[in-house]
Structures are given as C-alpha cells and as structure tokens.
Amino acid sequence: MTDYNSTEMMTVTAARALKNDDVCFVGIGMPSAACNLARLTHAPDITLIYESGTIGTKPDVLPLSIGDGELCETAMNTVPVTEMFRYWLQGGKISVGFLGAAQLDKFGNINTTVIGDYDNPKVRLPGGGGAPEIATSCGEIFLVMKQSKRGFVEKIDFVTSLGYGKGGDDRASYGVTTKGPSRLITDLCIMEPHPADRHFIVTSIHPGVSRDDIIAATGWQVEFADKVAETPVPSAHELQVLRDLHARTNAAHEGQ
C-alpha cells in the first residue's frame, strides 16, 4: 500500500469529485490544489476559472493568489472581473463552484467573515470575496475543509455564503434555484446532504478513520448513512502528480 497523509487523501478525494466536462469556479487554497490535480490526472479537459477573470487556465504551479500571472498566461482567455461575475457566474455558465471555509454548519452554510460578533469580532477573517455569489450561482458546490470541532460547528458566527440555510427547502426561499453544496470532502470522510432535510450525512469514510474520530472532530451531532462506503485510497499516480505539483509550487514561490 502506498503511504499518504490525511491532507493528500482529502485533496485526491476532492479532485476525484470533478468530471472532465465540468466548468469549475476555483477558490484559492485547498480547492485550487484539488482542481489542478483533477486536470493533471483524470480530467484533462476540465475548464478551471478563477475570479481574476482567467477562463480555462492550466497553471504549471499552483497560484499563491487568485491572480498570479501564470493563470493569465496559460488561460484560454482573460476577461475583466466585471464580466467574470456578470456574464459567466451570474449568467449561469459555471457547473461547479469549489470552496473552502473557516467555519461550516451541518447545512453547508459558510462563514469566512468573523469569529464572534460582527461589530466587535474576536477574529476578523478576510470576508466573502466571490463566495456569496459563487455559492448561489454555480450549478452545484463542492466543499473541501479539514475537520475540527472549531471549524465544524452547530451554529456559525456569520452566514457569509448560503448553503441549505435552515435546511429543507429554505435555500429556495431566497430565490436560489441552483443545487447547493452536494458534497463535503474532509480529511476524514465524505459527507452528502440528506435528501429531504439537507443536513450533511457521512456517506464514505477514509481508510484508517473510525466513526469516533469523525464524531470527535465535529461540533454537530454526526449522522451516518445506512450504508457507509470506504473511500478508495489515492493511487500511486495521483500521489506522484500531487507531490510534483506541490514541489514545483514551493520552488516557484520561494525562489523569487
């Protein structure tokens, strides 16, 4: 068996969620690694879009920001940011949005704004950026985030971006017609929304992880599906491509 760590397991599992014909709006950080791993392995024709306006980008190293020159140089086309948000995102041309979060609840609502009170925050986070509209305008949303009791909470401090709201049909009550967060990939498992109530249910557990590990790293009452799968391990090829990508990226970012 190949050796891998839990972050690699998460990234590879997230990458496998993407299809070759997806048009994907890529969030920075973990989503960016997963999306480019998908492009470099099973989904060579995937269209990756970053909010800086780069459409169909194929970066050789992961960008540190969403607007590194590499993204523009390797893109099919670069459009103004106004056009990106108006025509491509709001216009409904993007099939998947891939997002991370600082805080998440069981309905996939995301907080990237503040910990504590908005006017008197304990921690001021960067804010929403593109996420509030990515979350509602893309066909569906994949979330990727490391599990912890601090991050996976019963009630988030601020709803930066909508998931399923209060659950059930609540999402639609805001006039949102897109599917919402259909998959949550963590370093321990995969969760998917309950078909009616929309709270996340564990549907696949990564090898070597126990149910108790997941419960211990989750701030809400964890529910497991009737049939829980075991997530397939990363292949040697996927791990090699991912490690090469990170090695190239580190060399490029440090060597300037």
Partner 1 sequence: MVAQFMSLKDAIATCVQDGDTVAMEGFTHLIPHAAGHEIIRQKKRDLTLIRMTPDMIYDQLIGAGCAKKLVFSWGGNPGVGSLHRLRDAIENSWPRALEIEEHSHAAMANAYDAGAAGLPCAVFKGYRGAELPRVNPNIKFIECPFTGERLAAVPAIRPDVAVVHAQKANRKGDILFEGIVGVQKEAVLAARKSIITVEEIVDDFNDVPFNAVMLPNWAVTAVVHVPGGAHPSYAQGYYKRDNAFYKAWDNIAKDRDSFNNWLDQHVFNGGPKDFEAPLKAQHSKAEA
Q: Which two tokens stand for residue 104?
A: 């998440």
Residue 256 interacting with partner 1 (CB under 8 A) = yes
Residue 158 interacting with partner 1 (CB under 8 A) = yes
Residue 153 interacting with partner 1 (CB under 8 A) = no
Instruction: Report the relative pairing of strands 121-124 and 114-116 from DSSP bridges.
Output: antiparallel
**Catalytic residue status for 140:** no
For partner 1, the binding residue among 56, 85, 182, 220 (CB under 8 A) is: 85
Closest distance of CB 72 from partner 1, Å = 5
Residue 195 interacting with partner 1 (CB under 8 A) = no
Q: Which two tokens stand for residue 252?
A: 């490029």
Determine the size of the site formed for partner 1 (CB under 8 A): 58
- H-assigned helices in 24-80: 30-40, 69-73
Residue 128 interacting with partner 1 (CB under 8 A) = yes
Q: Which two tokens stand for residue 43?
A: 């989904």
Sequence-distant (6+) residues with CB within 8 A of 45 are: 20, 21
Closest distance of CB 161 from partner 1, Å = 6
For partner 1, the binding residue among 23, 72, 115, 228 (CB under 8 A) is: 72
Nearest to 49, CA basis, from 111, 127, 241, 39: 39
Nearest to 152, CA basis, from 198, 220, 210, 225: 220
Residue type, 116: G
Residue 67 interacting with partner 1 (CB under 8 A) = yes
Closest distance of CB 100 from partner 1, Å = 12
Residue 118 interacting with partner 1 (CB under 8 A) = yes
Closest distance of CB 104 from partner 1, Å = 15
C-beta separation of 150 from 161 below 8 A: no
For partner 1, the binding residue among 44, 127, 207, 232 (CB under 8 A) is: 127
Residues marked active site are found at: 51
